[in-house]
Amino acid sequence: MRAFSLFATMALVTLPALAAETPPATISVTGEGQVEAAPDMATVAVGVQTDADTAAAAMAENSAKLAAVIERLKAAGIEPRDIQTSGLSLAPRYDYGQQDGTPPRLVGYSASNMVTVRVRALDTVGGVLDGVVADGANTLNGLSFGLADDRPLMDAARKEAVADAAARAALYAEAAGVKLGRVMTIAEAGGYAPPRPMAMEAGFAKAADVPVAPGELTISASVSVVYEIAPE
């Protein structure tokens, strides 16, 4: 009983001391880092839309034209792994022009098929687009540029963001008359910024029938860093 009583007394003495401890003062900052680079690949969605009296005829014509488009892409050096079906639809077409209150009249069917294509040689983008249009593609659903491997540039942006956060924290600490201690937490968020216009090389414009400007990508990183304020 005496041992238990002594332990209880020690606990009562220790707990108030622990409760008196306060968390360290901190400085929270956000750092930004950016790296600019020319893209090295393009992604484009192209497709074929066909109309016919019957669903079967619309699909048959659509399939034949899309097969020609895909063959053109392969002939342009696009690998099969870079061609992916991204949309396939078949829908009835109605004539809503009746003014006498009669229901819409079925006049045929529309078939549509889209493929998403990655073009890894940017100097061929314009020629590829021109070729697929000549072979029957009549739908273009966006063109974007990117990087096949953005990790090295992303890491460089992260380093810049951490350095920026450290500089800001040092500035705030100096202004407040305190000294920075250890880093307590780091949280990250970041990604691509929209492309900016960039002049094309002379050979690019001549090689492409459809003018395409790839622009310049900005790879950005943002970090939130919490520093402990060193005790005096």
The predicted-structure confidence for 152-190, as pLDDT tens digits, reads as follows 999 999 999 999 999 999 999 999 999 999 999 999 986
| DSSP conformation class of 102 | P
pTM (two decimals) = 0.68
Task: Note the pLDDT of residue 60.
Answer: 96
- Amino acid in position 45: A
Q: Which of 7-11, 58-62, 98-102, 109-113 has the lowest mean pLDDT?
A: 7-11
Average model confidence (pLDDT) for the chain?
84
Question: SS3 letters for the chain?
Answer: CHHHHHHHHHHHHHHHHHHHCCCCCEEEEEEEEEEEECCCEEEEEEEEEEEECCHHHHHHHHHHHHHHHHHHHHHCCCCHHHEEEEEEEEEEEEECCCCCCCCCEEEEEEEEEEEEEEECCHHHHHHHHHHHHHCCCCEEEEEEEECCCCHHHHHHHHHHHHHHHHHHHHHHHHHHCCCEEEEEEEEEEEEEEEEECCCCCHHHHHHCCCCCCCCEEEEEEEEEEEEEECCC
Query: pLDDT class for 26, splitting at 50, 70, 90?
Result: very high
Question: pLDDT higher for 197 or 179?
Answer: 179
When pLDDT is averaged across residues 132-157 and rounded to a whole number, the result is: 91
| Residue closest to 43 by CA, chosen among 95, 105, 125, 119 | 119
- Whether 231 has a pLDDT exceeding 80, the answer reads yes
Query: pLDDT class for 34, splitting at 50, 70, 90?
Result: very high
User: By the 8 A CB rule, do 175 and 167 touch?
Assistant: no
Query: pLDDT class for 204, splitting at 50, 70, 90?
Result: very low
